[in-house]
A and B are shown apart, each in its own frame.
Chain A
Amino acid sequence: MSMKATRVAYGEWLAKAGDKYPNIVVVDADLSASTMTRGFADAYPRRFFNVGSAEQNLVSFSAGLALGGKRVFTSSFAIFETGRAWDQIRNVVAHDKLNVALVASHGGFSCAADGASHQALEDIAIMRVIPNMKVVMPCDSEETVNALDAIMEASGPVYMRLRREKEPNLEKPYSFRLGRGEVMRDGGDVTLVASGMLVLNCLKAAEILKEKGLDARVLNIHTIKPLDEGILVKAAEETGAIVTVEEHQVIGGLGGAVCEALSENSPTHIYRLGVRDVFGQSSRTMGELLELHGLTSEKIAASAENVIKKRG
């Protein structure tokens, strides 16, 4: 499996897209070497704006560029871009349906060593709640590229969460479409639902479950909003047991979104794996944090067995 960070895929896509789409401009807030917008900055210096470490200005200035007719890609760390500039995102970009793609890096536990201040564990919730906003979390670097292509074909605001670390590219038996969930592995005993790199841990968990004679379905919800309710209802009806898996608070994130959709349409036994209403903490390796919050393949498998038991 080839390894690449989703943020690196973004940087490479931007540098190429600059030629294909002369209308693209990029705005960063003093993190271009980390968000990987630096490549675009070097190739197209006039079309790159660095606003300094000023996230409110990052977003409202981007809104102005969009009003001036540009397709704007706006980048910083997930925690700062969504938290510091939420008012600007809600009241300007989203309300006025502007063509601003908020592509944020270092989502989830990406910033493991940096600690609670840098770990974005609420970003999906606070972006998802805003009208007109699309929320995308690709599972690997290939899907990042496909999602960016799709964003260019669509219009309006979008939030895309990327990660810092190198990750493997998964086998994907589908062509990417915004707003469509995907079956990564079929199964009838339980459904594991994830976004981003945790899709991989779910696939590994499915292998563990298989050894125990349990057949797990794995869904990749790369677009958390608009949510593919159909694929979730089908999974609920066919497996009756669901585990959501996210590098995010279980309140308001993917787990929340799945529960909202299913409790209205097909109430089902669900367990939400993720961060349970606590802040993050430093860790020199991300693995310890994934372990603590139950996001390893072993713990996902154990949670799946529990939900199956509950379902009966």
Chain B
Amino acid sequence: MSIRSLTVPELEALSRKVRADILRSIYEAGSGHPGGSLSSVDILLTLFFNEMRHNPGDPKWSMRDRFILSKGHAAPALYTVLAECGYLPESSLHTLRLFGSSLQGHPDALKTPGVEVSSGSLGNGLSVSTGIAAAAKLDGKDIRVYCLLGDGECDEGLVWEAAMLAPHLKLDNLTAVVDRNRLQIDGCTEDVVRLDPLSDKWRAFNWNVLEVDGHSYLQLFQAFGKAKEHKDGPTVIVAKTVKGKGVSFMENVAGFHGKPPSKEQLDQALRELEAE
């Protein structure tokens, strides 16, 4: 089974369904991270439906492109997109964080098909992705590695250790995406520990840096296209996003980083997503 590329209107329609499913699963779980899941939906859909080479019928296919969710708390978004692709039955989304479920609170590579590496402890994903990309280069294997980071995650020193290494190894098969929603648990990223100028930081580390609206499919298509053309070094896409995107009362609210919606909030959110 291979994935059919979607048109922008199809992606937009699917993104509303995915956002609704994410919120339902977090509500049912009674805990989870809605804000950073919703901000990453359009990036994930672009990657899994229009960008990456992969086969849900054969999750371990050796020539698949690899996706690493470094911001592991966006697990509900990843699970929902994996279910849309066919890696998981959609019914499994009701089991998020349930005892015995394959859908752990943070991604578990041993339990969930389509999850390449376990994450949840921030900062590891880019370093792991760099290793996967280096192994592929060593083997002359034509695969691409994609890593999604949170912006708050960029507080972690390990992100920058890996950011130094990947250009040094000239890994042009590696593309990082920073979900730049400007909020982390304790508030605005710029108030917690200033990150700006974030793109300049990556440039100073010798990355090819692209800035896009992380909710514009056309801009995301273009950026991933340019990343593929860029030679002799990795590309980072700094994707400006809105935390809680798609739900009026969650947008740009740090409080929804790790708090599930109430029943009333869920109902209102579903009404908004269905009305669009």
Contacts and interface: CB of A to CB of B under 8 A. Distances in A.
16 contacts: A47-B138, A54-B164, A57-B130, A57-B165, A60-B158, A63-B117, A64-B117, A64-B129, A66-B131, A67-B116, A67-B117, A67-B128, A69-B135, A70-B138, A91-B121, A91-B124
Contact of A64 (B123, B128, B164): B128
Interface in B198-239: none
Given A51-B165, A68-B136, A56 B131 contact: no
Contacts of B162: 57, 60-61
Nearest to B141: A68
B128 A63 contact: yes
Given A68-B134, A91-B121, 8 more contacts: A56-B161, A60-B131, A63-B128, A67-B116, A67-B135, A68-B136, A88-B127, A91-B124
A60 B128 contact: yes
B118 A68 contact: no
B85 interface: no
Given A56-B157, A69-B139, A64 B127 contact: yes
Interface string A36-70: 00000000001101011010110011111111111
Interface stretch (A92-100, A177-185, A196-204, A304-312): A92-100
B121 A70 contact: no
B193 interface: no
A92 B121 CA distance: 9
Contacts of B135: 25, 64-65, 67-70
A277 interface: no
B120 interface: yes
Interface string A69-81: 1100000000000
A70 B133 CA distance: 12
A89 to B, nearest CB: 11
B117 A96 contact: yes
Interface in A94-132: 95-97
Interface string B103-125: 00000111000001111110110
B119 to A, nearest CB: 8
Contacts of B109: 96
Contacts of A49: 134, 169
Contacts, number: 100
A86 to B, nearest CB: 11
A54 B161 contact: yes
Given A52-B164, A92-B117, A96-B109, A64 B158 contact: no
Contacts of A260: none
B14 interface: no
Given A56-B123, A56-B157, A96-B110, A61 B138 contact: no
Interface centre among B136, B162, B164 (most CB of A within 10 A): B162
Interface of B: 66, 108-110, 116-121, 123-124, 127-136, 138-139, 157-158, 161-162, 164-165, 169
A61 B161 CA distance: 10
A49 B165 CA distance: 10
Nearest to B124: A60
B110 A97 contact: yes
A91 B131 contact: no
A165 B139 CA distance: 37
A61 B118 contact: no
Nearest to A66: B131
Nearest to A88: B124
A174 B183 CA distance: 60
A66 B117 CA distance: 11
Interface centre among A49, A63, A68, A95 (most CB of B within 10 A): A68
A64 B132 contact: yes
Nearest to A95: B118
Contacts of B108: 95
B164 A60 contact: no
Report, nearest first, the 10 A-B pairs whose CB atoms are least far apart.
Answer: A64-B131, A68-B135, A60-B127, A57-B161, A54-B161, A64-B128, A61-B131, A65-B131, A56-B158, A64-B132
Contacts of B66: 67
Contacts of A67: 66, 116-117, 128, 131-132, 135
A54 B124 CA distance: 13
A87 interface: yes
